[in-house]
A = this chain, B = another copy of it.
């Protein structure tokens, strides 16, 4: 993979030669501080026109090397396969650009080793700041960055060594569980514990959501059935397998479920379809995460939509303010109406 042509890119030296002036004048004009450097408007215009004609493109490598700030902002993100992370990345890019920063994003597929490798790569590219989204071990990344004097903000999953912005997982799960319990009671007239499926039992979000799940049961006077709490991982296959195993253990399947992410829901729905266990009547579902097509799947599904715009506003507020204390900002999620 080599460049098409051996032709050199145009540099400020080439432009200086063409304009009969010095490289430093060209630089001053092209990066906009020619007024400060007292370059005449006439020369400025001549240089600008030449640059355009020659298709000049700044060499960021050289520029960044010389400056002390790169204006590059990095983000690592677990996956691109759901609306939540998709909109996080889109918002991130938009807000970064608004501030004149160059966003670089990379996906780490929930792989701790890749997370670290990606963080290292970003440091090599001299990012001024790194957003660690849904990182397995955010503190590890913060430490790596701190060693190079690079600030970090944790998003989606909190860490203990840098500011974090997360959803109010407890509050969202509490309300979601309440609604699903109420839906079940309304339809079946009985108070029965729900299933909890999906997510990693070790991650903060899943633990908080389980806490909300339990408290909502307690509120309703329903004892949680521990055999129905299955934090089996996020992947659809994991969730599907967990359901299959559960069905193998009991014939009394729950009439309501708390599904921890749309990704897990994919597996749960697949199982529901294929197993035929709920052929006569669909269970009441609550999903912690939102997807437009899930919303159309039927009136038996409640969703919690994480408030991505506000989360990213909070992230950039932290960045803009320069804060580095390990605070946790909790952004309330949005309950999506049934239907």
Chain A positions within 8 Å of B, measured between CB atoms, are 1-9, 55, 57-62, 64-65, 69-70, 79-83, 85-87, 89-90, 93, 102-107, 109, 120-121, 123-126, 128-129, 144, 146-151, 236, 262, 266, 269-270, 273, 291-294, 296-297, 319-320, 322, 324, 339
On whether the beta carbons of B2 and A322 are closer than 8 Å, the reply is yes
Closest 3 pairs (CB-CB, A-B): A293-B293, A80-B86, A55-B147
Contacts of A129 in B (CB 8 A): 1
Select which of B65, B69, B293, B319 is within 8 A of A59 by beta carbon.
Answer: B65
- Contacting pair B93 A106 (CB below 8 A): yes
A123, A236, A320 — which one has the most chain B CB atoms within 10 A of its CB? A123
Q: A59 vs B262: C-alpha distance in the bound complex, in angstroms? A: 39
Residue of B nearest to A67 (CB): B61
Our pick among B1, B87, B293, B320 for the contact of A297 (Cβ within 8 Å) is: B293
* Chain B residues with CB under 8 A of A106: 93, 103, 105
Contact indicator A151/B297 (Cβ below 8 Å): no
Residue of B62, B70, B80, B102 near A89 (CB, 8 A) is B80
A9 to B144, CA, bound (A): 12
Our pick among B85, B273, B296 for the contact of A269 (Cβ within 8 Å) is: B296
B69 touches A2 (CB 8 A): yes
CA gap between A7 and B128 in the complex, in Å: 13
A105 contact set on B, CB distance < 8 A: 105-106
Can you give 30 contacting A-B residue pairs, CB < 8 Å?
A: A1-B151, A1-B319, A1-B322, A2-B322, A3-B69, A3-B149, A4-B146, A4-B150, A4-B324, A9-B149, A57-B120, A57-B124, A60-B61, A60-B124, A61-B62, A61-B64, A61-B125, A62-B65, A65-B65, A80-B87, A80-B89, A80-B90, A81-B87, A102-B125, A105-B106, A266-B293, A270-B296, A273-B296, A273-B339, A293-B296
Q: Find out whether the CB atom of B70 lies under 8 angstroms from the CB atom of A79.
A: no
Q: A59-B126, A124-B58, A269-B296 are in contact. Are A4 and B65 (CB under 8 A)?
A: no
Please tell me which one of the listed residues B59, B104, B126, B148 contacts residue A55 in the complex, with CB atoms under 8 A apart.
B148
Selected from B7, B149, B293, B324, the residue in CB contact (under 8 A) with A7 is B149
Smallest Cβ-Cβ distance to A80: which chain B residue: B86
Smallest Cβ-Cβ distance to A81: which chain B residue = B86
